Structure 1
Amino acid sequence: MTTDELVVLVDDEGRAVGTAPKLSVHGRETPLHLAFSSYVFDGDGRVLLTRRADHKLTWPGVWTNSCCGHPLPGEPLDRAVTRRLSYELGLAVERADLVLPTFAYRAVMGNGIVEHELCPVYRVTAEAPAVLNPEEVGETRWMPWQEFATRVLKGELAISPWCAEQVPLLVELGPDPMAWPTAAEAELPPAARVAAG
C-alpha cells in the first residue's frame, strides 16, 4: 500500500464529505472516516484472530478481529474487505457478508492518538491457512467463536477497543456465526452505498 492512500471522510449522518491521506487522519483530532472490520471463520466455527504488527500507529501489538481497513474512494466495502484479506493474510475469499452495517466507534490510545470510524462489520469464510504480511500482522490464532465471545464478554481477553464493542453486537445475532442474518447493502451508511453503487 502506498503512503498516500486516501480514506473517505464522513459526517455524523454517514455521508461522504471528502477524502484525506490515511496517514494524516490518525492523530489526536482524528476525523470520522469510513472503514470496515471483518471476522474470518473456518468450517469448524473458529474465528481467526490477529495480533497487530508492533509498528502499527494505532494499537500496535494488540490482538483483534481478523482484518480491518479502509475502502479507497469509490471502492465498494465488500471489495475492500477481500482486498485487505489478500494483502494482510494472503486469503483469497469469494465474498464478504455484511452483518453490522452501521457500527461506529471512537477510541483513544494512552498516547492520545484517536481512532474514529464508521466501521461496518463483515463475516467471511475461509479454509486456506493465512500467510501473514509482517507489515500488518504480528501473528494469528484460530479460536472457537463461542470461547472467544465468552472470554471477551467476561473481560478475560485483552483486545482492541473496536473488537470489544463489536463482539456483544455479534453475539446478539445468534450463537452460530454461519447463521447470522446478513444486512442489505441499502442498510449501509450513505458514503458506503455511494461507493457500492
Structure 2
Amino acid sequence: MNLPEVILVTESDEAIGTMEKMEAHRKGRLHRAFSVFVMNDAGEMLLQQRALDKYHSPGLWTNACCSHQLPGEPTLAAAHRRLQEEMGFDCPMQEIFTFTYKTVFDNGLTEHEFDHVLLGTFNGAIVPDTTEVNDYRYLPVHQVLELMEQEPATFTSWFHLALPKVLQHLNLPVTTGL
C-alpha cells in the first residue's frame, strides 16, 4: 500500500522533496497545502466540521475543504479534486493568497504548512463524505465572526489565520463590532 506523500517546500514554496504525510506531521516539516473557502450568492460562507476521527483537529469547524497537493499535482487541480471528494461538489475557484503557519497539537503532531488559499462560489447540493466531514453549514460572515469570538476553540488554527485575509480580499469587515 502506498502511503500518501506531501510536498516538502522552502519558506518561498520551492519544492525540495516529498515525505510520507504522517512522518511530515510528526517531524513538523514545512509542506505545501491548500484551503478552499466557498461562498454562496447570499454572501454566506460554507463551513465544514471535520470528522470526529481525523488525526488532528477532529470535530472542529473550518473552511469548506483543505488538504495537500499530491507530488506533481497543480494546486488548482488538487483543490478541485479534494472539494469533490470531501464535499461532493466542485465549483469555479481562484487562488487569492498564500501564508505559512505552524501549529503543534496535543497528540504530538505538527501542522507546518505553506498554505495556498482559494475562493469559490457554489449554490447547489452538498453531499459530503462522512469519513471526512461530520457536519456542514452556510452562515453569514458576521455569524461566523461572532462564533469565533464566543467559541474560538471550536475552529481550526488555520481558519483563525486565513479568515481575516479572505474577508479583506472580499472587502468585508474582519470584526463583528461587538
Query: Considering the TM-score relative to the shorter chain, is it more than 0.5?
Result: yes
| Aligned residue type for 1:33 | H
Asked if the contact 1:41/1:124 (under 8 Å) is kept, the reply is yes
Specify which structure has the higher proportion of strand. 2
- Cα 1:16–1:62 change in 2 (3 A) is same
Query: Alpha-carbon deviations, 1:93-133, whole Å to 9, x = none?
Result: 2x221111x21110111233210000011101111121110
Pick one of 55, 58, 65 that aligns with 1:57: 55
- For residue 131 of structure 2, what is the aligned residue in structure 1? 135
- Equivalent residues, number: 171
Change (3 A) 1:112 1:23: closer
Q: Return 5+ residue gaps in structure 2 as ranges.
A: 174-178
Contact residue 34 and residue 119 of structure 1 kept, 8 A: yes
CA deviation string 1:8-35 (max 9, x = no partner)? 10122321110112232222x2200000
- Rounded Cα–Cα distance in structure 2 between residues aligned with 1:107 and 1:142: 26
**Partner residue of 1:83?**
81
| Cα 1:18/1:61, change in 2 over 3 Å | same
Give the distance between the partners of 1:129 and 1:3, measured in 2 at CA.
Answer: 33
Q: Which residue pairs with 1:74 in the alignment? A: 72
2:111 to 99, 115, 131: 115
CA contact (8 A) 1:149 1:167 kept: no
- For residues 25-36 of structure 1, what are the structure 2 equivalents within 5 Å? 25-27=24-26, 29-36=27-34
Distance 1:150 1:168, change over 3 A: farther
Is 1:18 the counterpart of 2:17? The answer is yes
Report what 1:45 is aligned to: 43
Secondary structure of the equivalent of 1:68? strand
1:191 aligns with none
Q: Pairwise CA RMSD of aligned residues?
A: 1.7
**Structure 1 portions without partners, runs of 5+:** 177-197
Report sequence identity in percent: 34
